[in-house]
Amino acid sequence: MGDSTIFDLVSDELEQRSSLSRLEARGTVRLALKEAGLDAATVTVEQMTVVLRKVLPRELKTRNVGDPAGLCEALAGRLSGLKLDSKIGQTPEAVFARLAPS
Amino acid sequence: MLGATAGLLALVGLVANTSFTWILFRRAEAWAGALLASVGLGAGGLFVAQSAAGGWANGALFWGWFPLGIAVSFGWAFMECGRYHRLLRRRLQLGMADPVVTNRFGLYAAATGLAVVTNLVGWVFWRRHLEMVTDPVGGPLLLVLGVTSSTLMMLAFLPPRVYLAWVRARAPEAA
């Protein structure tokens, strides 16, 4: 499965707004997603927004990127207006949630 | 006739269980479709071969190899659910997962793991021509494995309210 549009967008923006190379930017976002238990192919806007606010700033700080919190907030702002087809109803957790009361 | 019916029902169950894992986790991936097809065609082939050879009263060919399909099917479910459970535990820390659903994946992983163990133990008894149910070791072992697996499945899909409350109470606070 290929990487999602959301992953590509955030990685490209990070590359443009920081000193990270394309490979470094994509690798950093991928690592942040992995730490959050997410995948670059299936991440949703809502999930990526949480990662941008809670995980990625730490990753950027360890790579000496200036103002990581501000940069991540700007990236989250870019995502906020994004409208994409959501497949959230077909995810394994959505199916398991429907199989029994929670 | 009874032996063939049991074989057919086992075949249907095996394909249904493998399909569930495929649909839930890997429906877009070619290797997973190939694995599902292999399990289905392999078990179907065994059924046809046993029917052609006759001897369903014992079904040595079918029941001798069928546990391999069960091991693959439930082993796959165990690995996928275990992996997803780990992912959801990380998401839970960030407030991106429901604690009950996260727990449900863990319970299902444990239940399917026990199914693999039960299947392998049963296969060993069958190969040794021992009746597991009446065996002094096999009987209690089957009881423990069966009851534990059923309890895990019940907690996963028919959970009492008190259990749900307990799972929610011990869930970590989102960071």
The interface residues of chain A toward chain B in range 7-66, judged by CB-CB distance below 8 A, are 35-38, 47, 50-51, 54-55
Question: pLDDT tens digit string along B123-132?
Answer: 999 889 888 8
Let me know: does A10 contact A29? Beta carbons within 8 Å: yes
B175 touches chain A (CB under 8 A): yes
| Residue B75 confidence (pLDDT) | 98
Q: Supply the mean pLDDT for chain B.
A: 94
Burial of B120 (0-12, 13-18, 19+ CB in 10 A): middle
pLDDT band at B174, cuts 50/70/90? confident
CB-CB neighbors (< 8 A) of A100 in chain B: 104, 156-159
pLDDT band at A87, cuts 50/70/90? low
| Residue A89 confidence (pLDDT) | 61
- The answer to whether B87 contacts A38, with C-beta atoms less than 8 Å apart, is yes
Residue A102 has pLDDT above 90, yes or no: no
Enumerate the domain spans of chain A: 5-98
ipTM for the assembly? 0.84
Give A2 to chain B, closest Cα distance, Å.
Answer: 11
pLDDT band at B34, cuts 50/70/90? very high
Question: pLDDT tens digit string along B61-93?
Answer: 999 999 999 999 999 999 999 999 999 999 999
Distance (Å, rounded) from C-alpha B113 to C-alpha B74?
7
Burial of A39 (0-12, 13-18, 19+ CB in 10 A): middle
| Residue of chain A with shortest Cα separation from B175 | A54
Enumerate the domain spans of chain B: 2-169
Distance (Å, rounded) from C-alpha A50 to C-alpha A63?
20
